[in-house]
Chains A and B, each alone.
Chain A
Amino acid sequence: MLVFTLTNLKMMSRNRQATFWALFFPLMLVVAFGLLDIKGVGSPNLVLVDQANTEASKLLREQLAGIEFLGLEQTPTSEVAARLRVAEGDLDYLLIIPVGFVDLSPEGSSIAPASVALVHNSRDLQRNQLVEGVLRNLVARVQPTSLSNAQALHVVSEEVTIPEVSYFDSVLMGLIALGIMTSAIISIPVRISTYRNNSILKRLLVTPLPIWKYFASEISAHLVLAMVQAGIILAVGVFVFGARVHGNPVWLFFIVPLGSLVFLNIGFILSAWARTPAAASGMGNAVVLPMMFFAGTFFSTTTFPWIFPYLAEALPLTPMLSAMRQVAIDGAPLWETWPQLAIMAGWAAGTAVVAAKVFRFS
């Protein structure tokens, strides 16, 4: 089996054209995204913690809710919980209205005014300035005009430094997964249909080679290829285009082969229907391209309409991307991604059973 695996790798390395293109497609996208420096298109979210609960603070909330761009969340939450979310990068802006925020009622005027605190993360400098300006304006507007400049309330900005994540860091993980998925789902059916048409599979069947060894060697060779591919794409992204991996990159190389295994199995399933290599390549693309979009390789699917967010959950690429991003973006260790790894293992087992059922030699 080792001989067969090594021989398979030898064939792949000699078939330079196919191997080159398998690598070239994701690399081309790495270059495109790296050069374009596309910013994340996500809109911010804002939480308002109202400790004053006065007419003015209610007015402020109404006005904030009126600005759709800010994405004011309506669910009440505590200051501690909200601050934690900012620190984790889940929340972009937290506005705290302290007790003693300007009280429009006559009896409240005796309380000393306190400053409004804006807590935000350090990720998007330009957006931070914009949001801060908007908030200062609004706060000034809800104050009675009678207040003197000295009494006027201020917005105190408080920055929480969190690791900087660019859109490119996130999309790089998507491109690694894309490269691995493409080479597995397209290459396996193309190879199998070629072998079947040339009676190579039959030629193997007349030897005493247990046929599982053939599959094992095909799979191990592709897993090695997947690791090399991931390594090259990651290296180009990091060293040429300055992407950052916040977690331990070694963990990625545990997620990659598991994902690759799922896609190889899908490739074996497709090969059952592909009569010619050309048909195989078409079928592979028909699976790969929609999966690429709906699993969130390039952009988050949570804002998709209709059933698409649920569809994303039903795709095997989604847990792989999620696990890779947890490691690379959020700096999580491998074991914290176990739910995703478990889903991928389930996919691997399920697709293996189907592949074994539908596979045909001639």
Chain B
Amino acid sequence: MDTAIRVEGLVKRYGSFTAVDQVSFTVNRGEIFGILGPNGAGKTTTLEVIEGLLAPTEGEVTVLGLDVLKRRNEVKARIGVQLQSSAYFDYLSLKEILSLLGSFYPKCIEPQTLLEQVGLLDKSGSYVKHLSGGQVQRFTVAASLINDPELLFLDEPTTGLDPQARRNIWDLIREIHQRGVTVVLTTHYMEEAEELCDRLAIMDGGSLKAVDTPRNLVGRLKAAYTVKLAMDKPLTEEQMASLKGSVEFVQEFDGNSYLLRLKSGPSSLGKVLDDMVRSDINLERLEIAPVTLEDVFLELTGNELRD
């Protein structure tokens, strides 16, 4: 398969702080590639190096077969970039902003065509400040498509949006993808990553934890179900050891609550519950759910994904 982006040994340091540490991955043409991680994981920094906005401290980045450092302008002409929380000029209508941005590129799409695509045609004469949050986000996606890019970068495209607006953006991204545009997006929403992405990179603390399809990532856990237990007193070490013997994974959180992972269905929970009854432990709450990316993330990083 054709490669759209190749990142090799990327390091970005600010003084003694390492924002991105030895990150390597490739993005194939035609896929939606997600970078998932909490705030401060290094997602935006990685993206900005790929986009040619930041020079890496170490490593090589090739975009559409071009070295980003050496042929920055050629790369910029062929990619579309939506920045995290970027505003636009006051006192210019949507149509005028798109015309202005279009004038910076060797080729560009008609502003009206783009506005129609994102459902903002009736707002073409309005100022950005008069749009709703979801409309602004759709407009920034439209603005990033002005040069008809082969590769589109979206930095947290749905952060701060309500569920309805979020679904609208997802539909828009799928539409763009279907036209053959390769999409790279960052997100800290599991749901978004699972829903949209063909492949995912999981980042935390500046380093890459895993790259795979959402299905394979979940499959790595070798567990099908997650069980959350809350009980009236903490488990003794002995009880803990016996629990670990019968399930895949045990983690303690919030004092008397425990997280378990089961290889097979809920039936294997029977033994665990029997053990508890015998040990005179009263169960206060029990939740069973299929394993999700959230669990993958938890296992890879030891952290829950914070919003």
Contact = CB atoms under 8 A, between A and B. Distances in A.
Interface of A: 3-4, 7, 10-11, 14-15, 198-200, 202-209
B88 interface: yes
Contact of B100 (A3, A199, A205, A206): A3
Contacts of B85: 199
Contact of A200 (B81, B89, B106): B89
A206 B92 contact: no
Given A11-B89, A199-B85, A208 B73 contact: yes
A207 B86 contact: no
A207 B101 contact: yes
Given A199-B83, A206-B51, A206-B76, A14 B104 contact: no
B286 interface: no
Contact of B92 (A10, A198, A207, A209): A10
Nearest to A198: B87
Contacts of A203: 83, 86, 88
Given A4-B100, A4-B103, A207-B76, A15 B53 contact: no
Given A4-B103, A10-B92, 10 more contacts: A7-B89, A10-B91, A10-B96, A11-B91, A14-B92, A199-B86, A200-B89, A202-B86, A206-B81, A208-B104
A19 to B, nearest CB: 10
Contacts, number: 58
A197 to B, nearest CB: 8
Contacts of A209: 104
Contacts of B99: 3
A206 B105 CA distance: 11
Contacts of A14: 91-92
Contacts of B300: none
B90 interface: yes
Interface string B90-116: 111000100111011110000000000
B229 interface: no
A317 B81 CA distance: 43
B92 A200 contact: no
Contacts of B51: 206
A3 B103 contact: yes
B293 interface: no
Interface of B: 51-53, 73, 76-77, 81, 83-92, 96, 99-101, 103-106, 147
Contacts of B103: 3-4
Q: Which of B52, B81, B100, B105 has the most CB of A within 10 A?
A: B100
Q: Which of A7, A14, A202, A207 has the most CB of B within 10 A?
A: A207
Contacts of A202: 53, 83, 86
A203 to B, nearest CB: 5
Contact of A7 (B52, B73, B76, B100): B100
Contacts of B104: 204, 207-209
B305 to A, nearest CB: 25
A200 B106 CA distance: 21
Contacts of B96: 7, 10
A188 to B, nearest CB: 15
29 contacts: A7-B100, A10-B91, A10-B92, A10-B96, A11-B89, A11-B91, A15-B91, A199-B83, A199-B84, A199-B85, A199-B86, A200-B86, A200-B87, A202-B83, A204-B104, A206-B51, A206-B53, A206-B76, A206-B81, A206-B83, A207-B101, A207-B104, A207-B105, A207-B147, A208-B73, A208-B77, A208-B104, A208-B106, A209-B104
A14 B89 CA distance: 12
A208 B100 contact: no
Contact of A205 (B53, B88, B147): B53
B249 to A, nearest CB: 41
Q: Which of B51, B81, B90, B104 has the most CB of A within 10 A?
A: B104
Contacts of B52: 206
Nearest to A214: B104
A218 to B, nearest CB: 12
A64 to B, nearest CB: 65
